[in-house]
Chains A and B, each alone.
Chain A
């Protein structure tokens, strides 16, 4: 079994290496503004560019502020405050990837080095899924398949090879879950509090997604025991004081906000957006555009207040659910139907009252509800439903649970393999090409302007392959002259599917005649 883990880890590293997006070189802000790095390259969307711009400012100029050239690169997702250009994103992702940037820079591949850090977090997530699954009594090989399902058969794959926050957020959530399941010590609680606080500076809504973990940790702070007619409650003060370790990451966060945004409590998203940077380096602010439009339409002045609360509207839940689960442009059904086995596993786990199922349902529930209430459930231009990556991680646990329970049923395993293969094929497509898929609503508007069909599903990625485009670093640097993008995709997908098939066969063989108690 030990060798199997090592082989599986090597397999994952290999696939990630073949998929990671990038171009050789250490780009300067001038280089970054070229389309080969932006739209046609690895920094194709503004969330990547905004975070990369802050990373560049941190690593190269030791500041939080962007030069006009760097701001131009990050626009339209760049803030402008007190005469300075600043990031509009929560800062920690950029801080975390600094070592990768510096290491990559040494080998003339700064951008690839930065992206590799996210890939490493994605690999950690696979390891955590396996570890949590085993702690929940799931068969170890099913646990591995669960990890594989998460990384290669869900949109998590497309976001493991670029610079987004999702894998770091998922890592924090899974670490919290693992610590709760595995330990009950002062140190484990301290680590959970640190993670809770750190998660906010990775992505603000993480505060709410970590809430179930925090509440359970709070429950662990007090030790209750019932004896006959007496309830004794012990409150170890060190456990209570452990909560205050949250102050450390929070202090970092407040310090960053103060230095970058001018006030400790002023979040990056609250700063005025600069849509463009003019040739003379001055900003064209979003407010100016709206004001000009208002004056042209002779409308009364309006005050738009940006607040965290107003970004989550309960009325949007119906549309949000449709978007995340059913819609052709982002839905789970279209991009990762293998997660349906996870939902089936979840129902089974609830029915059998699996330990910690409440915690896992709470994490999924908070994630799904929050991002269904979000005013942009599509995640802008994206591949699949990127906001549900933490949910995919937890559902992968239940995929493993489902497999463990149904290991005897060949037809079920065959069906699983078929759906898994489809999901792998779709998500590998996204990983090695692009995440630039508009939501249906925008695609329709674009089509009206461009007078041509604008695909909004993964067919857009198929079109890229048809045009021999893949953004994989290895393909671009070493393979493009020898094989087509289609061949590259086919080989990589086949490799993942074959390994999945081997794992399933091994699972079937190992579990034959043996029932694994879950």
Chain B
């Protein structure tokens, strides 16, 4: 350093080797640095949402946690509690830690897998972009677009299944891309493994399996003909489809119907039928509206600018002749969630409300989150491709992100807090906590309708008699006065199993008084004169 008095100028000299050294260190150690940074972000974000109580704002998050808890602590614990409503992998993973009350009520037992998936997806995006020949800068931007998305940050802090699905699907697509590049059996098996896991998380994974089979067939048939294609496909499907086979088998064994998950009383199909009869399933058999709805959901989750830049990046990517056509075709697997969700909306198998398109409500808008890693990859590619504009593009992303963070603009939180995905059940659960915790007696409740109340009450799971408790449920709905000191139900609502079972029960009408009438459920209490006949301890099967 020297100072020129004549021109009032400070002169600094740097050895450029230091920059190239920094670059080479980043090239070598980026994965490790990203791992460290994402771990820090993940933990901090979880703590933030845990502290402000939003971590378990989704009804579904509370239900996921309760399902896992019932496997280990319940009047009738066991794996049968996994049920048929949701695919089992997230609940199985949660059972490892859900026995601990803190892990259950903080939501950490379910969030921890989302957090791991968040870190893994960030690292996969980095690697994915590296394989596509994107430079260091573009790779980091791709990771940042994913990792700093407020909706992703919120969902990785909750016990929801989105991040785990995103993680396994991205891993599956990455291995598929690598298989297209290397054609090694090892890659195909790895791809099959990740697709297998995704098929056990959500039905989006089933579509990915079909999509992957299509891509594998095209690639192999073009290069090696029919016979090889058949062999490769059988190998891949045997592994990747094994989870689906197990799920059918599970449904057959537990519910005596392999299609129970699809057509049972708690299935999405049954729920969609209710919505359809209420006239709110607008996307069914309306392809343009299904496409519009899902694109809006993607835009609200990823952010408009990210979606726009990702879209441009995608077009440039598929037109880029420097990238092998095999890789470009393989990368179409990144679009699987997009096609799946549109098809599901069109067929009426899925429901999604976007404020402005479907009145003033949000519901399941988080489905749009599935496209965030895809868009992040294409934004990374765009930044790499448009070298002369890379800092401008990053500046624009920063501008929007700053306002997004300052205004806490996360549509997934709105969906959970004020949308149809979240219900404020605090009044009912608080009443139970204050009035039932210190007293003996069971609470009769429908878990299918009121899992959020069970979770929020802070009571042990074995205090509840619900549909999954078998004989307890049968006895309590036949003779509530002998088994249930309190009954929680939505009076007059036929979709509430407890109400349906008790509506004509004379014992219920005679022996109970309604102690609270609340927006989401009413609480009935056994009259004091009947308490002496009550069973207060689990006796069946002991």
A-to-B contact residues, CB < 8 Å: 208, 211-212, 215, 226, 229-238, 309-310, 312-315, 317-319, 321, 350, 353, 357-359, 361-362, 365-366, 369-370, 372-373
Contact with A309, one of B19, B401, B406 (Cβ below 8 angstroms) = B406
B16:A365 contact, CB within 8 angstroms = no
- A394 to chain B minimum Cβ distance, whole angstroms, is 13
Closest to B355 in A: A315
Q: Which chain B residues lie closer than 8 Å to A238 at the CB level? A: 8
B392:A212 contact, CB within 8 angstroms = yes
B16:A226 contact, CB within 8 angstroms = yes
A358:B389 contact, CB within 8 angstroms = yes
Complex Cα–Cα for A365 and B411 (A): 24
Closest to B8 in A: A237
A236:B389 contact, CB within 8 angstroms = no
B403:A362 contact, CB within 8 angstroms = no
Given A229-B17, A362-B392, decide whether A318 and B403 contact each other with a Cβ distance below 8 A: no
Closest to B7 in A: A236
Some 7 contacts from A to B, beta carbons below 8 A apart, are A231-B14, A234-B12, A236-B9, A314-B401, A318-B299, A318-B300, A369-B305
B304:A321 contact, CB within 8 angstroms = yes
B137 at the interface (CB under 8 A from A): no
A313:B403 contact, CB within 8 angstroms = yes
Q: Which chain A residues lie closer than 8 Å to B403 at the CB level? A: 309, 312-314, 373
B386 at the interface (CB under 8 A from A): yes
- A190 to chain B minimum Cβ distance, whole angstroms, is 15
Contact with B303, one of A237, A317, A362 (Cβ below 8 angstroms) = A317
A314:B409 contact, CB within 8 angstroms = yes
Contact with B407, one of A235, A313, A369 (Cβ below 8 angstroms) = A313
B305:A317 contact, CB within 8 angstroms = yes
B386:A350 contact, CB within 8 angstroms = yes
Report the interface size class on chain B.
35 or more
Q: Which of B266-317 contact A (CB under 8 A)?
A: 296, 299-300, 303-305
**3 closest A-B pairs (Cβ-Cβ)?**
A317-B304, A314-B404, A235-B10
- A307 to chain B minimum Cβ distance, whole angstroms, is 9
Closest to A363 in B: B392
Q: Which chain A residues lie closer than 8 Å to B401 at the CB level? A: 314
B400 at the interface (CB under 8 A from A): yes
Q: Which chain A residues lie closer than 8 Å to B356 at the CB level? A: 319
Given A313-B403, A317-B303, A358-B389, decide whether A235 and B14 contact each other with a Cβ distance below 8 A: no
- B137 to chain A minimum Cβ distance, whole angstroms, is 15
Q: Mark B14-43, 1 if CB is under 8 A from A, else 0.
A: 111101000000000000000000000000
Complex Cα–Cα for A211 and B407 (A): 21
B184 at the interface (CB under 8 A from A): no
A369:B392 contact, CB within 8 angstroms = no
Closest to A362 in B: B392
Q: Which chain B residues lie closer than 8 Å to A350 at the CB level? A: 386, 388-389
B15, B303, B356, B400 interface centre (most CB from chain A within 10 Å): B400
Q: Which chain A residues lie closer than 8 Å to B305 at the CB level? A: 317, 369
Given A233-B14, A317-B305, decide whether A365 and B396 contact each other with a Cβ distance below 8 A: yes
Q: Which chain B residues lie closer than 8 Å to A235 at the CB level? A: 9-12
B399 at the interface (CB under 8 A from A): yes
B48 at the interface (CB under 8 A from A): no
B15, B16, B401, B411 interface centre (most CB from chain A within 10 Å): B16
A234:B9 contact, CB within 8 angstroms = yes
B533 at the interface (CB under 8 A from A): no
B395 at the interface (CB under 8 A from A): yes
Q: Which chain A residues lie closer than 8 Å to B52 at the CB level? A: none
B11:A233 contact, CB within 8 angstroms = yes
B11:A232 contact, CB within 8 angstroms = yes
- B205 to chain A minimum Cβ distance, whole angstroms, is 29
Given A312-B403, A318-B299, decide whether A230 and B388 contact each other with a Cβ distance below 8 A: no
Complex Cα–Cα for A359 and B13 (A): 28
B226 at the interface (CB under 8 A from A): no
Contact with A237, one of B10, B399, B400 (Cβ below 8 angstroms) = B10
Q: Which chain B residues lie closer than 8 Å to A373 at the CB level? A: 400, 403
Closest to B4 in A: A234
Given A313-B409, A315-B409, A317-B303, decide whether A358 and B388 contact each other with a Cβ distance below 8 A: yes
- A359 to chain B minimum Cβ distance, whole angstroms, is 8
Q: Which chain A residues lie closer than 8 Å to B15 at the CB level? A: 229-231
Complex Cα–Cα for A365 and B11 (A): 35
B391 at the interface (CB under 8 A from A): yes
Contact with A366, one of B19, B399, B411 (Cβ below 8 angstroms) = B399
Given A233-B12, A362-B396, A366-B399, decide whether A310 and B407 contact each other with a Cβ distance below 8 A: yes
Contact with B411, one of A230, A315, A319 (Cβ below 8 angstroms) = A315
A229:B409 contact, CB within 8 angstroms = no
A353:B388 contact, CB within 8 angstroms = yes
Q: Which of B388-421 contact A (CB under 8 A)?
A: 388-389, 391-392, 395-396, 399-401, 403-404, 406-407, 409, 411
B9:A231 contact, CB within 8 angstroms = no
Complex Cα–Cα for A234 and B305 (A): 37
Q: Which chain A residues lie closer than 8 Å to B396 at the CB level? A: 362, 365-366, 369
- B10 to chain A minimum Cβ distance, whole angstroms, is 4
A212-B392, A361-B392 given; name 5 further pairs at CB < 8 Å. Answer: A211-B395, A231-B15, A233-B13, A358-B391, A362-B395
Q: Which chain A residues lie closer than 8 Å to B407 at the CB level? A: 309-310, 312-314
Q: Which chain B residues lie closer than 8 Å to A319 at the CB level? A: 356
Complex Cα–Cα for A319 and B300 (A): 11
Closest to B395 in A: A362
B392:A358 contact, CB within 8 angstroms = yes
- A61 to chain B minimum Cβ distance, whole angstroms, is 39
Complex Cα–Cα for A215 and B399 (A): 14
Complex Cα–Cα for A361 and B392 (A): 7
Complex Cα–Cα for A255 and B467 (A): 71
Given A314-B303, A315-B409, A358-B388, decide whether A369 and B400 contact each other with a Cβ distance below 8 A: yes
Q: Which chain B residues lie closer than 8 Å to A310 at the CB level? A: 407
A231:B16 contact, CB within 8 angstroms = yes
Q: Which chain A residues lie closer than 8 Å to B19 at the CB level? A: 231
Complex Cα–Cα for A361 and B394 (A): 12
Closest to B18 in A: A231
Q: Which chain A residues lie closer than 8 Å to B296 at the CB level? A: 318
Closest to B400 in A: A314
Q: Which chain A residues lie closer than 8 Å to B304 at the CB level? A: 314, 317-318, 321, 372
Q: Which chain B residues lie closer than 8 Å to A313 at the CB level? A: 403, 407, 409
